[in-house]
Structure 1
Amino acid sequence: MPESILSLSDVSLSLMGNAGRVDILHDISMSVNRGETLGLVGPSGSGKSSLLMLMGGLESASSGSIMALGQDLTSMNEDALARFRRDNMGVVFQSFHLIPTMTALENVATPLELAGIRDAFDRAAAELEAVGLGHRGDHYPSQLSGGEQQRVALARASAPRPAILLADEPTGNLDETNGGAIMDLLFGLRDRHGATLIMVTHSLDLARRCDRVVGLRDGRIESSAATASAAE
């Protein structure tokens, strides 16, 4: 019997804007199994990135409940959520979010140091090696290409060995060649560390590499189906 690692029950999200309240997600209920790869797709404005942020505790639900690894994210305060993410989640954004004043090695080592891991720099070096950047550890983000910066971001997200890996349009700022290489690395890191991968993407080709694809439209789940890769 598959084990659920993340589940949402009747989750809605509304935010206040200049024109008043904006309803972004409506009564979302779904679960993700341990070790599963899930692609979230839909047109711009469908709510897929907002859904990913809720799953990572980076946004607070207006109603409903979110359970991750047996813990209720919706009942946690900001400090508890930060600790939970540090210990259990890795997040990869479209915009890399590297610290510009730190080298690639320091960027990857930082979350490990915050978690109190003694061999933080050794593990960070190994993760950079795994994404093909072992020779670029002493370079700053401004000295790296977009593809290289995203590789550093991948290494940083995977270094703490997270149970859940969240990726928001990880290839959105890259050309086709670099985007394909990043996806190969992302799935490779998933396989190496056994993480559950949840990815937002506009590319159906990328989504089909996942075990299951969930389609959103107007803040609601429109479809959910296993892909051909799930049967392989």
Structure 2
Amino acid sequence: MTDALTLTDVSLSLSGNAGTVDILHDISLSVATGETLGLVGPSGSGKSSLLMLMGGLETATSGSIAALGTDITSLGEDNLARFRRDNMGVVFQSFHLIPTMTALENVATPLELAGVRDAYARAAAELDAVGLANRADHYPAQMSGGEQQRVALARASVTRPKLLLADEPTGNLDETNGAAIIDMLFGLREQHGATLIMVTHSNELAARCDRVIRLRDGRIDTVKAAAE
């Protein structure tokens, strides 16, 4: 079986007013299909940057990334956007909902972009799955942080992505809401068989993953099964 993700000698450098900053150094790793992987490490270690590279939301300075057997580092912008649309779901810490759209419209958007005819019916079912059927017509500003994150989770999972990427999905939530989001995230992954890769500062959350990779100073520090 093809791995869900394979990174080979991947590095990332960003240029700014202060010069070039090296973010990631020669990262090589594989993520098995259906695996849950936690990315942990101190702030500034490169966790979120690595996740963005995996999702094709950042461009590697060097090295290659194969997602579901496709070399995404060789894709042009349009083809990469289509590949993400058809295969990936991303959950951000800051939700990234469209403020002028209702919850239902936010969740339906990726389906509409993919040309799905029953986009709104499927979006409504997904909102129901995360317990927000009664909030479908509400705008993000009318919802709590926990509710907004559930909408973001519904939007990420409604297309049944093969790869589900989450960047600190509980970072802006209180303990109760954070626990609920994590239960939903793992529940959706188990229901639909996606490969889940998650950046987190939470040891408790990392412990629920099959494997944990710790980053330090832009390099892989340790790799271990979560139970170890």
Task: Determine if the TM-score, normalized by the shorter chain, exceeds 0.5.
Answer: yes
Aligned residue pairs total: 228
- Return the offset for 1:206: 0.5
Distance in 2 between residues matched to 1:137 and 1:72, nearest whole Å: 37
Quote the Cα distance in structure 2 between the aligned partners of 1:111 and 1:179: 24
Tell me, in whole angstroms, the C-alpha distance in 2 between the residues paired with 1:204 and 1:28: 23
Runs of 4+ aligned structure 1 residues displaced above 2 Å come to: none
TM-score in terms of structure 2 length: 0.98
Aligned twin of 2:8: 9
Task: Provide the residue aligned with 1:87 in structure 2.
Answer: 86
Matches for 1:147-162 after TM superposition, within 5 Å: 147-162=146-161
1:23-38 correspondence to structure 2 within 5 Å: 23-38=22-37
1:1-232 pair list within 5 angstroms: 3-228=2-227
Please give the alpha-carbon distance, in whole angstroms, between the structure 2 residues aligned to 1:83 and 1:60: 16
Using the aligned pairs only, state the percent identity: 79
Aligned counterparts of 1:48 and 1:76: Cα–Cα separation in 2: 23
Q: Within 1, Cα distance between the matches of 2:48 and 2:17?
A: 21
Uncovered stretches (5+) of structure 1, i.e. residues with no partner: none
1: CA distance, partners of 2:226 / 2:113: 38
| SS of structure 2 residue aligned to 1:51 | helix
- Cα offset, 1:172, TM superposition: 0.4
Unpaired runs of 5+ residues, structure 2, are none
**How far is the alpha carbon of 1:226 from its aligned partner?**
1.0
- Give me the whole-angstrom Cα distance separating, in 1, the residues matched to 2:3 and 2:193: 15
**Could you give the per-residue CA deviations for residues 76-122 of structure 1, whole angstroms, max 9, x where no partner exists?**
11111110100000000000000011100000001001001111111
SS where residue 99 of structure 1 aligns?
coil
In 1: Cα distance, 2:162 partner to 2:193 partner: 7
Q: Which TM-score applies when normalising by structure 1?
A: 0.97
